[in-house]
Amino acid sequence: MTTQQPPRSTGDPDLLALAAAVAADHTPGLHPIDLIIAARYGFTSDQAHTILGAPHLLGWLDRYWSNYPPTGPIIQIAQSSDATGRAHRKLLEGTGHIIHVRSRSQHALAASTRGMPETLTDDHSAEVGTSVVRRIFHDQGVMDFAIESAYIEAENTFPVVALLSVGEDEAPVTRLLFLLIPAEREVTHAVSHAESRLFIDPTLTSDKLLLYRTPIEASELTGTNLAAVSHSVAAAKLPWKDAWRRAALATPDGHPLRDAVISGLSAQA
């Protein structure tokens, strides 16, 4: 995925407005340059809480991340269980980069006919261009996931979005990764999509789930995200297994993604 670069022009009106807004505030870490660096590589806890309490700063961050989406380091920090991780999740949520996938108990549509799936839909297409559909086939013991995005381009890259479960006092756990591929425009309004099938997992139907709509390039997956690759590849439907294979082949020999994908292709979800 092409790395986004910060604005080059010192005449950027939004940047100048930000500079004017914080000019009278000498709090360390609130200089526009500090904020731009932090928006790409991570905020301190103090910076994050200051932004959350200042609508003009949160508005600036929303506009910045709209032009230069949150990086892998930002998403990785947000997956920690400490105060800084929680603050980054609030920043991502406040700027629309986290989608809440609701639990079954809140909106389950129970199937009335045997063999028909229970369908759980979280349609955020109007706000952020992303929808999540879960179909639970109770009689077969399996569930399908379908992700659609109107904004994530997947023509010449391998964008991955992560689905996580979040406990009250625990670090978020990556449950499933979705490698998106271009969608057929004739059948959907989405630019890209992903589909997976796996055995019914209570953590994917009852836990508090979050979906990062900001993608990470497959070759840049690290930590808990990288650890979830094998299971995600095994669960992916055939066209997406092939996409994972191509993503792995695009990395150099010895890259950790290769072993993870090979393991997933050799396993059953």
pLDDT digits (tens, 9 = 90+) for 47-84: 998 899 888 889 889 888 888 888 878 888 887 778 88
Same domain for 69 and 41: yes
Domain that holds residue 106: 98-217
**Would residue 85 count as lying in a domain?**
yes
Same domain, 39 and 53: yes
φ, ψ (nearest 5 deg) of residue 4: -75, 140
Does pLDDT of 183 surpass 90? no
77 and 32, same structural domain?
Answer: yes
Please tell me the predicted confidence (pLDDT) of residue 230.
94
0.85 exceeded by pTM: no
State mean pLDDT over 106-130: 68
Residues 205, 122 share a domain: yes
Count: domains in the chain: 2
pLDDT-based confidence at 99, cuts 50/70/90? Answer: confident
Q: How confident is the model at residue 3 (pLDDT cuts 50, 70, 90)?
A: very low
Cβ neighbours for 132, distance < 8 A, ≥ 6 positions apart: 99, 101, 121, 122, 124, 145, 146, 147, 211
Residue 41 has pLDDT above 50, yes or no: yes
Q: What angle is formed at CA 32 by the lines to CA 29 and CA 37, rounded to 5 degrees?
A: 70
Q: Work out the angle at residue 237's Cα, subtended by the Cα atoms of residues 2 and 218, and round it to the nearest 5 degrees.
A: 20
Are 110 and 211 within one domain? Answer: yes
Name the residue with higher pLDDT: 213 or 264.
Answer: 264
Domain boundary among 64, 94, 124: 94
User: Cβ atoms within 10 A of the Cβ of 43, count?
Assistant: 24
Residue 105 has a CB neighbour count (10 Å cut-off) of 8
For residue 184, being part of any structural domain is answered with yes
Q: Is 141 a domain residue?
A: yes
> For the residues 202-227, what does the mean pLDDT come to?
84
